[in-house]
Each structure stands twice: as structure tokens, then as C-alpha cells.
A and B are shown apart, each in its own frame.
Chain A
Amino acid sequence: MRRRALRDVPLIFEHNPERLRRQGFPLPALDVPDVNPAEVLPASLLRGPDVDFPDLGELEVVQHFHRLSQLNYAVDEGLYPLGSCTMKYNPRLNEQVARLDGFAGLHPLQPERQVQGALRVLWELEEALKAVTGMSGVTLQPAAGAHGELTGILMIRKALQARGEGRDTVLVPDSAHGTNPASAAAAGFAAVEVPSGPDGTVDLAALDRLMTDRVAAIMLTVPNTLGVFEHRILEVAELVHSRGGLIYLDGANLNAFAGRALPGRMGADAMHINLHKTFSTPHGGGGPGAGPVAVSQALLPYLPVPRVERHGERFSLRWSDPNSIGPMRGFFGSYLILVRALTYIRAMGGDGLREMSEVAVLYANLIRRRLQGAYHLQYESPSLHEVVFDDSRQAAHEIHNIDIAKRLLDFGFHPPTMSFPLIVHGALMIEPTESAAPEEVEAFCDAMLAIAREAEEDPETVRSAPYETPVRRVDEVLAARQLVLRWKPEANG
């Protein structure tokens, strides 16, 4: 492990403390008469001299962000095996295409005849996602997976209302990601938990009891958050559909089977797709993502507006439709993210997407094989693209998943997901994706094995990790007890 000196990075507000005027980015010269704001605007509404960030020269700003960037780990640095996040490579081609002025420099309200190429991108991506899912329609509007979930559930709600039914419950497996019940609640439904059976899949007997005529839908992740495929998905779908409910699929784990299986054949009525997972758009330190939703025939009428329509070689936008649930956000979607996803799909092709899921599953199983001697596997069922271990063997030495995670940072890797699924206590959810070289995946396994040994032989080292990171273990309790959410001139040191 090499090191280099990293100076502390002050907050920008701590630069140039006397606020001496340096030349920031210059504005176009004022070629019209200047105006005194107090003469044309009510003085009581003008802002006071309370904005307190400095004017700095360009290199000072560049150095500030360069130095900050050096404190971050990223996919470009090494493996980022976060389960259910699909931290794959973000191809540079996507970035080039998204920066074309012909996409980035468009206003969403320009006349349609001026933006036919842009509209065609939307249409092409919809068609591609229909092909990937085997479903009948797509909305590209949602800005994230959670947003897509809400969109799908609202469409389901409207479809049921149109049938004259007021169902008030949504079933959610106990293994589900937190956004599932949160989205159901946001759509006005009560979220009822369905237990998982001993193999980690939905307990059919429990489902049979819970699936009443009050249930609007079941939300399933396929494969589920344990990386296990719901092998009785067709039975689940049959059961739910036969009692008047609909199927919502959370597509967060689509990387496991894209190109090989079609959600449309699993009985899906709505499924969101995380473009920032399966389709390589970047995570950006938290976003932006995009969560398009594919729908079955049953839900087609309720898709959000505006929608792209094709008439021969011409594309147009439909802005209103009485059957639609309405718009879920301003305009068409996170457009420049959509551009990246279309670029990726064209470059990978149908054959490439199939290979992608094969290698993702292969790597996850390699990790399972290498680590199963050292880490406990709660569910014996086959893993697809991710494997969920837990810390129960290490807990005997008072080492928990959080300690293993922090120690992994010292080995130069990002830790796995730990905050879910809730049904595995002390979870280590590992998803390698297909992007890395095999040696990188193997090096990760070696690091995990080394930490397992340390947990037995030298637990204190693991417990006080990390040591090699820009900051050591951060006090999250203090952050919550003494809230400091902004810089203030007197306070910060």
C-alpha cells in the first residue's frame, strides 16, 4: 500500500477570509444601461449583504475541487461491490455523447420541429427497454428507481379505480429495499409484509393467506435482495392475478438476467429499471439516476404525460391524456441520463447484454465459492448476481459487519452493502458486476479472507479500522446529536 501527503482541504468559505476581491468567472460586459434595483423593485424584497462566499480565481477553485476529489474512492479506482447497486463501469463513450451540444443545449419547450433528433432518442430508448423487458409500453419520466416505484404504483391504483375497485393494501416481502414500502405508503397504500421462506423466496403459503381482495399489488424484486431468483414467480403471479391484484417488479437487480429472461413473461404489470444500475449511467456521488417504468397492456392507458409519439418519420409529444396519471415531474425525464443509457444499449447490443448478466452471475458465484468457508451464508439457495453473507461467525469475536467494512477500506476496496436486507442480521451483500478483470475480483476475495483471519487472531485491529483512509472512523453519533448542517462564520474552526 503506497501513500502520499494529502493536505487538509478547507471549506471554500474559509478561503480568502477577508473576502478580498479576486477575479471570478467574468460575465458578458453590460451593453445596456445599468439599473439600480431599488428603483424598479420593492426595496423590502431586495436581499441584504448576507451572502458570504468569496470571489476566487479559477485555479483556486480548480485546486479546491481537485483536492476534494482525491478524498473519494470511485468505480474507476477499484471494485465497488455494493449489493443491489450494480456499480459497473461508466463508459466514457456515454459521457462524450451526453455532452453533445445537440442534446445538452436544448430547452424542453422548443418547437417540436426543432428537436426531432432529441425526440427520436426518447422513442428509441423506449423501444429498446420494451425489447429488454418483453413488455408493452414504457415511461422514461421517473428520475430514480424510487420515483419509478411510485409511478408504477400510482398507475396500478388508477387501473383498479377504473375497474371500480378500492383496494388499499400492497404486499412487500420482508427482504425488500426500504423504498418499496415507502413508495407504497406515498401512494396511499398500507404496506403489508410477506415473510420469506427458509430458502429466501416468498413463502407461498403465507402469500395465499395474505392475498385478499384488499390487495392491489405485490412488489417483488427479481432476483430478490438475497440474490436468489423467485423460482416460483409464475405461481406467485398466477395467485395474485387470479385474485385481482397486479404485479410490480422492482428492477434493481435486472443485471442478473437481462438478455436471458423477460419480466414480461413473469407476469409483470409494471417494472422500474434503474438506468444507473443495469444500464451503466453514473452514480454521481448520489445521483442523478433514472428509473423508467415498463408496463403491461393493462397499464398502458395510465402512463404519465408528456409522451413521445411516432408518425412515420416524425415524432411529437402528447402533453395531456385524461387516462394518464399525469406528469410525475417536469418535462420528459432525466434526459441526458437517458441519452447515456441508449448509447450503452446500442454499444452492448442484445448479445452483449446477455453476456453482461452471465459474467455478473459468474463473478458473484466465484466470490461465493471463495468466501463461503470464512463467512456465514444464511440462505443456501443459488446466488445469481449477488451473494449475501453475514457476520455471525465473526460476531463470536465481537466483530460486526461494520468493522469488516471499515477494515476493507484499508485494503483499498469499497465495502459491500450492509443496511439491508433486514432479514439478514449483520449482512454483507456483495455484487461485483461484470466490469472488473478477474484479478480484481480475486483480490477482493483475498482481502475478505485476510480480514476473516484478522477477526480471529487480532480483532482489535479490525475494530479500530480504518487506518489508511483520509479520515479515520467518523463519529456518526455526534453528527446526529449535535447537528451542524452548514458552515457559519463564527462557529467553524
Chain B
Amino acid sequence: MHPWIGAGDHDRRRILDELGLGTVDELFASVPAEVCVDRLPLPDAEDEATVFRHMRSLAESNVTMGSVPCFLGAGVYRHVQPAVVDAVLSRAEFFTSYTPYQPEISQGTLQAVFEFQTLMCQLTGMDAANASLYDGATALVEAAHFCHRALRGKRSRVVVAETVHPLYRQVLATYVVAEGLEVVTVPAGGDGRVDADALGKAVDGTVCGVVVQSPNFLGVVEDLPAAAAAAHGAGALAVHLVAEAVSLGLLAGGGSLGCDVVCGEAQSFGVPPGFGGPHLGFFACTEQHVRQMPGRLIGQTVDADGKRAFCLTLSTREQHIRRAKATSNICSNQGLMALAATVWLESIGGSGLAAMARSCLARTEELKRRIRALGGPWRLAYPSSPTFNEVLVLGPGSGAELAQRLADEGVLAGVPSARWGGSWPDGLLVAVTECSSASDLEVLVAAMGRIS
């Protein structure tokens, strides 16, 4: 017997008697003996305390982001975590419930996600946003597919800036190998942005979509209006990819700058770094293209008494109805993480988010000033390019060497920019947020100074 199994031995005997059976094995008669085993090669059940001790010892052996000055970014960011977020997520009504296919008893989930959709529309400048995707990398994949579908499959090239996160681009490459899509990568220019001339040349009548990340992998803010114009000039769609969602507190979302899609990663909105997952992909587009959107959508309607209610809608795009012709094969999404983002945004508040973004900017500018002051072998890779909260810093050695030596000094200084290749200099991507105190910055710069 086990506490997570609701029937005890006597209960099972009673049920077997009612079914007129001797043993439970008789219910498995249809399973061929050749595939059966008497037991699994796994240890027996452990009590709760024993399991907890084992897992806790594995957890405690790790060095957490919060325990040392930490400037790691590259798609996963450290922001304030109000206790309220986890308190709401811990409510069983939210985390033990299912996809809201029965709207009459899921208005809590439905309304919360409708609020999420609204928040994402406001922040991205778009008309419609879905109820989440897996993560930023798969959001890029969905965007490529979306552009292809929106142009009715007549154009099969997708132009992607090299300054889009290299790991996201690797994931895209995994997917497109099986489809008729070709990815054309446009290199970074000397200023840390995508090369505008090369972009212009790459976008022609065979291209369905143009993807630019801003702020990009190198931390530089891209010229989205120019990218959108280049795309539209050739009849293609423009996609604004976001890896650091807090940037939307200060920088306009692609919807306000002429783009057709804004998508990416919203882990910054209250989702724990969690060693890489679960995170929160998001996708937003214009009203014109809403029927091509992947993933679940929640719409407003009324009930039989005329009362406002919410429900899943446009389900005919999805796999459980369209099957092979679905807009995506996505079924389970990141629903609880979308709830986390909703609670987080509503706790921080509209002006709170703007203040947070401004704090990130101010602290990053302060770091840049101190690195300039430090001098010697230390310098900014793109001193004149606009950045938000992540900068590429060059020093006395490769990015990997610098990361190692600074880690020895007790600082998680940044992600080596060359760890997935790329045509840019080899240094450290240093992410600064509202959580990076002045003393953290001092410790970082002092450690840099000691390594020369």
C-alpha cells in the first residue's frame, strides 16, 4: 500500500469480489506474457523524509545564482521575485487543475490567462497574444512556421539575424531540416547589430519572414523599424524576437514599430531560472493573422444567463481538431508559468515595470562607465551602440577564460559570447538587472581589475 494510492488491500479485495475476479492479474490478461516483468529494476518505495533528504542534498550541493554576485543572462535573467507569485501558484485550484476545456468550472484559469493575453498585447503593441508556448527557442520556430503559413506556403525562406540567440537558431535548424523551409542567416555588423546592408540584400520575393531579436544576443538594441521596412518592402512579415521581456518596460514592442509578430521568452516575468525550465514562451500577432496563431487562445463571451465568461476559442486551429493540418502540434503549454507572469506583472504594476526597466538601464550604464574607467585590457565591444541590460565586455583572454578566472574570484561574471560560435568578438556577455546592487558592480569590477 502507498499513501498516494487511494485503495488499501481490503478495498481492492472488495472490488475484485464485485468484479468476480480472483486476482488483479486477471485484468491484465490482454498484455502478452513476453512483455511482462515481475518487478522493475528500481529500488522499493522510500518514505517522504528519506526522499526529501536525498533531493535536498543534491540541491544543497549546487551554487545558486543568489549566493554570489551573478551577471549571467543570455536568455535567462534574475529579477525580483515577490513572494506573492509563488503563493498564488501554490493554490491547488490553479496548479492541480487541467486545461480549461470545461469553461464552466475553469473561469479562474481562463480569466487569469485572458489577463495574461491582454498584458502581452499591451507590452508588445499587438492585437492578439496566445496562452503561451514552451520557450523562446520554440517561439522562434513557431514564428518561422507562422510566416510560412501566412503567405500560404508560397515562400519558403526565413531570414534570421545572426544576432538572434545562437541556441534559438540551433533549435530552429533542428526543426526546419524536416520541412521545406530554408533559413538564411544575416551576419552581425561591426556595431553589434545585424548588418543592415546584408539584411536588405537577403530579403527578396522568396522570403516569408524576417526575424530580428531586440535587445539582441549581444545586448544591443536593433533598428526594428528598418528591419520591418525591409521585410514589408519585399512582401515578407517582420518578427520581433524578445529574450529579455523586461526590456518591454522601456522599449517599444515590435507591434508599435511596424512588425507583424512579437514573440520570444517571458521568463523574466516571475518565472524562476530553474536550471533552464520550465520557462515561458509567448507569441503575439496582428488581428489580420490571428487564425494562423499557434497554441491556445482564450476569448471573451457570455454564458446562458448573459453573464460575461471566458473560454478557449479558435480551437479549430489546434491539433485535437485539425490533426495533420493543425497550425502547430502543441497541446500542453506553459499555462502555470503564464499565470506566474500575470501575478508578477500585476504585483509589480504598470509603472513598476517601467521603473524596473529604467533601473536595469541605469545600472547597466553605471557598469559601462566603470569598465571604461577601469581601462587596461578591459573594454566594451560596442561602446557606441545602444544597449538595455546586457553588454559584451572584452578582456585579457577569451570569454571562457575570463568566466573561469572570475568564477575563481567568486563572481559569476557573464556568459562567454563565443560558446555557440558567432562572428563577434570573444568576450563576456554581462547582464545587469535591478537586482545588481552598486556593491555587486564594485565586486565585479574589482575582480576584473585583479585579472589583468
Contacts and interface: CB of A to CB of B under 8 A. Distances in A.
A298 interface: no
Given A97-B52, A471-B303, A117 B273 contact: no
A339 B51 CA distance: 12
B45 A116 contact: no
A32 B59 contact: no
A45 to B, nearest CB: 6
Contacts of B119: 53
B335 A286 contact: yes
B19 to A, nearest CB: 6
A110 B274 CA distance: 12
A78 B53 CA distance: 31
Interface in B29-83: 29-32, 34-37, 39-48, 51-52, 54-66, 70, 72, 74-76, 78, 80, 82
A145 B329 CA distance: 10
Interface size class on chain A is: 35 or more
B166 to A, nearest CB: 11
A447 interface: no
A356 B2 CA distance: 9
Given A51-B353, A121-B58, A327-B137, A108 B273 contact: yes
Given A47-B251, A440-B6, A485-B128, A409 B104 contact: yes
Interface in A144-197: 144-147, 149-150, 154, 157, 177-179, 181-188, 190-191
Interface string A101-130: 111111111110011111011000000100
Interface stretch (A206-214, A391-399, A474-482): A474-482
A362 B16 contact: yes
Interface string A227-264: 01101011000000000000000000000010111110
B6 A103 contact: no
B423 interface: no
Interface stretch (B147-155, B201-209, B308-316): B308-316
B339 interface: yes
A143 B40 contact: no
Interface residues of chain A: helix, strand, loop or mixed (majority): loop
Contacts of A137: none
B108 to A, nearest CB: 4
Contacts of A273: none
B40 to A, nearest CB: 4
B93 to A, nearest CB: 4
A139 to B, nearest CB: 12
A304 B62 contact: no
A120 B66 CA distance: 21
Contact of A486 (B128, B134, B338): B128
A452 B386 CA distance: 68
A473 to B, nearest CB: 5
B171 interface: yes
Interface stretch (B95-103, B231-239, B443-451): B95-103
Contacts, number: 697
A53 B349 contact: yes
A229 B54 contact: no
A405 B346 CA distance: 34
Given A21-B351, A286-B333, A474-B301, A53 B43 contact: no
B21 to A, nearest CB: 8
A118 B107 contact: no
B350 A53 contact: yes
A347 B51 contact: yes
A369 B48 CA distance: 35
B324 A181 contact: yes
A479 B299 contact: yes
A188 B351 contact: no
Given A42-B386, A352-B45, A471 B326 contact: no
B117 interface: yes
Nearest to A415: B102
B158 interface: no
Interface stretch (B184-192, B354-362, B372-380): B354-362
Contact of A419 (B108, B178, B221, B320): B320
**Interface hub of B62, B86, B119, B302 (most chain A Cβ within 10 A):** B62
A155 B190 CA distance: 38
11 contacts: A12-B346, A27-B352, A75-B96, A87-B98, A102-B64, A184-B324, A186-B179, A260-B31, A265-B35, A283-B335, A349-B46
Specify which of B28, B100, B302, B354 lies most central, judged by the most chain A CB atoms within 10 Å of its CB: B28
B418 interface: no
Contacts of B419: 109
Given A342-B55, A382-B27, A286 B46 contact: no
Contact of B362 (A33, A54, A419): A33
A93 B99 contact: no
Contacts of A132: 40, 42
B129 to A, nearest CB: 7
A377 interface: no
Contacts of A51: 122-123, 249, 350, 353-354
B395 interface: no
Query: What 7 A-B pairs come out closest when comparing CB atoms?
Result: A102-B59, A286-B335, A331-B276, A284-B336, A55-B349, A24-B349, A108-B276
Contact of B358 (A37, A44, A325): A37
A442 B108 CA distance: 28
A434 interface: yes
B257 interface: yes
Nearest to B168: A330
A323 interface: no
A45 B70 contact: no
Interface string A33-53: 111010011101111101111
A230 to B, nearest CB: 9
Nearest to A330: B137
A434 B6 CA distance: 6
B7 A363 contact: yes
Nearest to B61: A117
B272 interface: yes
Contact of B324 (A11, A73, A182, A414): A182
Contacts of A450: none
Given A47-B256, A116-B62, A260-B37, A12 B115 contact: yes
A103 B2 contact: no
B362 A32 contact: yes
A443 interface: no
Contacts of B31: 229, 231, 257, 260-261
Given A335-B275, A346-B51, A365 B19 contact: yes
Contacts of A478: 301-302
Interface string A344-370: 011111111111101101110110010
Contacts of B32: 231, 233-234
A55 B352 contact: yes
Interface string B115-143: 10111011101011101101111100000
B346 A61 contact: yes
Contact of B103 (A234, A420, A474, A486): A474
B44 A351 contact: yes
Contact of A261 (B35, B42, B101, B114): B35
